[in-house]
Amino acid sequence: MSNNTKQIYVISVFPEIVENFIKYGVLKRSQDKDLLKINMINLRDFSKNKGQIDDKPYGGGAGMVLQAQPLIDATRFAKSNLENYKCIYLSPKGRKMNQQMVAEAANDEDLIIVAGRYEGVDQRFIDLEVDEEWSIGDYILSGGEVAACVIIDSIARMIPGVLGNDNSNVDDSFSNSTLEYPHYTRPEKVENISVPDVLLSGNHQEIRKWRENQALEETKIKRSDLLKKKLS
């Protein structure tokens, strides 16, 4: 592993979910190129009570809560292998993830991502070990593993050298506070719908203008809130 390799530790009750996800596409290439190293930690390995990692909540209520001790020990193990790190706990109460957060995470410290399960985690773990809480949207998942996959994939795309073309992510949706422009490929006509003439013209200046205008129109129609943020 080179000094420039970005490291991500994922702490999970079901690490197999993430392990299978990272075997394909951009994530596999990033690891093959030694640009990204993803380390899986099974939370049960840090239990001091025959694999138990959860218990009933104090005060009553539905569901089970992940105990603080296994989470703290697993996180501290990950931290002991890193020099500069940020610990992110995935939670519906967290800050909603956006492209700016992803770009900063790709360029900054190594990451420890904690995927919650069940009803939640003991608050003392968050107080002691977590730097930031992130959410991928205003909805509830059974666990944080899927959210961890989303975040890892987004971050990997921002690491220089991971994509075949380093400019591939420049025009992605949300990179410039707009959605991406429409794409077309062969054949030139599909069920009487033709590729816009400008894309066949070879005039790169006009193509660039067309794409900028289309991106703005797409954003106005589908996500006008992004334009309001851009102008504010």
Count how many residues are written for the chain: 232
pTM: 0.87
Superfamily of domain 6-157: SPOUT methyltransferase, trefoil knot domain (3.40.1280.10)
Which residues, at least 6 apart from 65, have a Cβ–Cβ distance to it below 8 Å? 54, 55, 56, 57, 118, 119, 120, 121, 122
Domain range annotation of the chain: 6-157, 171-232
CATH topology of domain 171-232: Trp Operon Repressor; Chain A (1.10.1270)
Q: Do domains 6-157 and 171-232 have the same CATH topology?
A: no
Find the radius of gyration of the CA atoms of the chain.
Answer: 21
**What's the pLDDT at 175?**
58
pLDDT string in tens for the chain (232-residue length)? 777 899 999 999 999 999 999 999 999 999 999 999 999 999 999 999 999 999 999 999 999 999 999 999 999 999 999 999 999 999 999 999 999 999 999 998 999 999 999 999 999 999 999 999 999 999 999 999 999 999 999 999 999 999 866 555 555 555 567 899 999 999 999 999 999 999 999 999 999 999 999 999 999 999 998 887 766 6
Catalytically active residues, by annotation: 92, 119, 157, 172
Q: How open is the CA angle 219-224-226, to the nearest 5 degrees? A: 80
Rounded-to-integer distance, Cα 54 and Cα 104, Å:
33
